[in-house]
């Protein structure tokens, strides 16, 4: 084969001319494979396109039997071509027929060819087809030849993406790019959303692929890289990490990538092969994403997200795009699709246009999910692959009940979900009718349904949901969405607004609960913890940094002047922590009294029961505080030794299992025995089936997301509590305790027409 110095440039120049000519799609493909074969001195060049039914169809060939075009087919994973498509990796073989994956297609007449080079046709890391060259001689194709074929494949990918090949598709068979696709993830917030995709960090679509002057493009690339590096250095030097929604360590990784010579060299090579700087970034980004998606190491997979973000920033630099461009053209039914995002970033989107959120990462307790839940939008999480398979403007359905999404759904599926959404809307109307009615069981027992909150955006929902008060106000969310520690004045203003909005209803403020999975980008721990969930967090942290707790307590005392103040301490492990916190509170009360500040009419101090050690100090705990709140999320995590963010374990243990229900009953009984109010705050309270169980255990106050109050109140109105208590008492003791409680509760509800 001849020396290919300048070969890729000549080939790309010819492709550019072909793309500009007014040709029919099949003729253009035929000319493309002919010119590739001629340029690479190959006897065969073939293009296979991936269809929606996961079949690779031969769309054009030079050298094989021309009558096999649109007839020769391979399944995804079948043969060498199917292997390349499934793995998104090139194959370079001197003797293809010796490879274990080789499959002979007699209609093509390819048995006489030995050497084989095949590359995936990739777009955004997603395989759309396979491009192959073959020769009779036994030879190993050179690295520059592989690079030339990969660059050509990228141009073909954009051709597929523009829809030029749609006319060549047989009726009933769509190309892979536009096919409907469904993903199953985890339910992070209930509800159904129908709308159109808005990629949180949209892939920049490169339309200008070919350069006229490589040296000029290299100059543009170097200028953009320099600008990118300066912006990262500037963020690091000013520590404005939260502005970008990233942690400092991530920006350090970005700086490492931006200065990586290997990455820059690959970009420069792609430009010298004839691509524009933007197309070079797109090609290298797509190649690297396709390779790294197959890595099993979670650390390396996480680095891929860092690299993706960096490449998108570089593309925006090159194309003069602002990250705010997407917000200005947001559709009225936007469903945000993101790998991950911060709570502040979600709040940047106008609430009235949001219909749902899809996350590839995250956990049900991530603060962005907590904010989304407060906004009342359905959330599906751990939906791997959603970002690369979606395009801005694609129709999408988010099923928050099941944790699934449907991209580009078929008409009948969309109609079914539209009816489901209408049904939910009718139910919500029913719940609104219930909001001003008392929360009573069928046999007249009053249950206080409180709501969880944490931001100003939550406050209007107190009246809309008909909540009896705020059972948990997460004060840390104000810290999480800020770029620096909120000043005492800002804290006081928020707390006063919360109490004003409550209009006399009780509000329980939890002191700042950071650490674990709640990281403040501007607050660095001195030690990296192997297991932060069991480490320096919540009350442990604030007692070690008393200035934090003192300024928050002072803000709370001033905001609650003339009203009752309820303060709750998170993650209490032993009673000495309560005594230390009470001493700090008393000191602040004395300080404000000295300066004649208007103080609360009463101050009630409570503790969150999340750590199992308190189960053996219950009577002493009830005497040490004015009230207790059970944090069911953390308590379940610690009792069952289950990391709640671990998706492999998330469905393994049931919170309605007998052991955990016995723990919860033990706490409720202690509250009744000592006449200490006990509330449960957590995911358990927000689902009618588990709320029913809690009421049956003896809880008379539960706190949940505002959207859950209507369904739980509707359930209570049909609940014969006396019968439920007898059922649970029988089945939590003795041999019957081996029966699955969830199934028993469902049967109980079904038999009595209780809506769940």
SS3 call for 167: helix
Q: Which helix (H) or strand (E) holds 123?
A: strand 115-123
SS3 content of the chain, % helix, strand, coil (to 5): 50, 15, 35
Catalytic residue among 45, 200, 406, 681: 681
Structure tokens at 513: 């609960």
Residue with tokens 């609940």: 719
Residues 6+ apart with CB under 8 A from 159: 19, 28, 165
- Taking only Cα atoms into account, the Rg of the chain, rounded to an integer number of angstroms, comes to 31
Structure tokens at 184: 């199953």
681 is catalytic: yes
Query: Is there a contact between 63 and 51 (Cβ–Cβ < 8 Å)?
Result: no
> Rounded to whole angstroms, how far apart are CA atoms 379 and 56?
34
> Rounded to whole angstroms, how far apart are CA atoms 341 and 362?
9
Q: Do the strands 448-453 and 470-474 form a parallel or antiparallel pair, or are they unpaired?
A: parallel
Q: Which residues pair with 450 in a beta bridge?
A: 703
Residues 6+ apart with CB under 8 A from 516: 532, 533, 535, 537, 538
672 is catalytic: no
Catalytic residue among 367, 406, 675, 746: 367
The dihedrals phi and psi of 736, each to the nearest 5 degrees, come to -65, -15
> Rounded to whole angstroms, how far apart are CA atoms 91 and 68?
23
> Rounded to whole angstroms, how far apart are CA atoms 212 and 201?
30
Q: Is 60 left (phi over 0), alpha (psi -120 to 50) or beta?
A: beta
Structure tokens at 601: 């009419």
Q: Which residues pair with 517 in a beta bridge?
A: none
**Annotated active-site positions, please?**
367, 681
């Amino acid at each position: 084969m001849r020396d290919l110095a300048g070969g890729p440039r000549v080939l790309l120049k010819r492709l550019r001319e072909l793309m500009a000519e007014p040709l029919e799609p099949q003729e253009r493909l035929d000319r493309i494979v002919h010119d590739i074969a001629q340029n690479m001195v190959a006897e065969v060049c073939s293009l296979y396109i991936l269809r929606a039914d996961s079949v690779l169809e031969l769309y054009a060939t030079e050298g094989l039997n021309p009558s096999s075009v649109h007839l020769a087919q391979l399944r995804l994973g079948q043969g060498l071509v199917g292997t390349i498509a499934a793995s998104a990796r090139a194959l370079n073989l001197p003797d293809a027929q010796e490879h274990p994956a080789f499959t002979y297609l007699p209609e093509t007449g390819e048995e006489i060819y030995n050497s084989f080079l095949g590359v995936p046709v990739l777009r955004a890391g997603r395989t759309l087809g396979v491009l192959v060259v073959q020769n009779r001689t036994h030879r190993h194709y050179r690295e520059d030849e592989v690079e030339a074929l990969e660059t050509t494949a990228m141009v073909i990918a954009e051709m597929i993406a523009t829809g030029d090949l749609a006319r060549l598709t047989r009726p009933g068979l769509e190309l892979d790019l536009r096919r409907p696709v469904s993903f199953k993830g985890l339910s992070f917030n209930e509800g159904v959303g129908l709308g159109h995709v808005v990629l949180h960090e949209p892939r920049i679509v490169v339309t200008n692929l070919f350069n006229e002057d490589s040296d000029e493009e290299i100059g543009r690339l170097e200028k953009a890289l320099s600008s990118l590096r300066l912006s990262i250095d500037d963020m690091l030097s000013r520590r404005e990490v939260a502005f970008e929604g990233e942690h400092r360590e991530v920006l350090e990784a970005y700086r490492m990538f931006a200065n990586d010579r290997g990455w820059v060299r690959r970009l420069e090579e792609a430009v010298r092969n004839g691509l524009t700087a933007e197309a070079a970034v797109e090609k290298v980004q797509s190649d690297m994403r396709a390779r790294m998606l197959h890595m099993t190491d979670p650390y390396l997979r996480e680095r891929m997200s860092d690299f993706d973000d960096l490449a998108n920033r570089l593309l925006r630099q090159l194309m003069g795009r602002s990250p705010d461009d997407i917000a200005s053209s947001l559709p009225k039914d936007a469903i945000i699709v993101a790998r991950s995002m911060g709570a502040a970033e979600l709040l940047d989107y106008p609430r009235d246009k949001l219909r749902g959120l899809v996350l590839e990462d995250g956990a049900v307790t991530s603060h962005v999910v907590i904010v989304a839940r407060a906004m009342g939008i359905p959330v599906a999480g751990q939906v791997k692959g959603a970002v690369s398979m979606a395009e801005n403007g694609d129709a999408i359905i988010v099923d928050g009940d099941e944790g699934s999404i449907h991209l580009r759904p078929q008409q009948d599926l969309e109609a079914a979900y539209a009816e489901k959404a209408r049904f939910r809307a009718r139910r919500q109307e029913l719940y609104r009718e219930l909001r001003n009615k008392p929360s009573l069981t069928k046999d007249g027992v009053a249950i206080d349904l409180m709501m969880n909150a944490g931001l100003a955006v939550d406050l209007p929902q107190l009246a809309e949901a008909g909540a009896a008060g705020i059972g948990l106000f997460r004060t840390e969310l104000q810290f999480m969405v800020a770029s620096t520690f909120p000043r005492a004045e800002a804290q006081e203003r928020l707390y006063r607004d919360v109490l004003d909005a409550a209009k006399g209803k009780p509000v329980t403020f939890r002191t700042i609960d950071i650490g674990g999975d709640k990281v403040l980008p501007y607050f660095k721990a001195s030690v990296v913890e192997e297991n932060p969930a069991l480490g320096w967090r919540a009350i442990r942290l604030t007692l070690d940094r008393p200035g934090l707790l003192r300024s928050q307590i002072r803000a709370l005392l001033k905001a609650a002047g003339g009203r009752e103040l309820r303060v709750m301490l998170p993650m209490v492990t032993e009673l000495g922590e309560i005594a230390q916190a009470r001493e700090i509170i008393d000191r602040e009360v004395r300080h404000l009294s000295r300066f004649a500040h208007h103080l609360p009419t009463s101050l009630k101090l409570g503790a969150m029961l999340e750590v199992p050690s308190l189960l053996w100090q219950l009577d002493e705990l009830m005497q040490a505080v004015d009230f207790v709140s059970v944090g069911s999320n953390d308590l379940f995590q610690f009792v069952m030794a289950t990391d709640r963010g671990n998706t492999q374990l998330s469905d393994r243990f049931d919170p309605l299992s007998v052991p955990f229900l016995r723990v919860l009953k033990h706490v409720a009984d202690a509250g009744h025995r000592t006449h200490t109010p006990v509330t449960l705050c957590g995911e358990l309270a927000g689902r009618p089936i588990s709320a029913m169980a809690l009421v049956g255990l003896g809880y008379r106050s539960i706190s949940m997301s505002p959207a859950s109050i209507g369904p739980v109140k509707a359930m209570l109105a049909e609940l014969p509590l006396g019968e439920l208590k007898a059922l649970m008492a029988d089945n939590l003791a003795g041999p019957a305790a081996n029966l699955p409680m969830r199934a028993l509760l469902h049967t109980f509800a079904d038999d009595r027409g209780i809506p769940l």
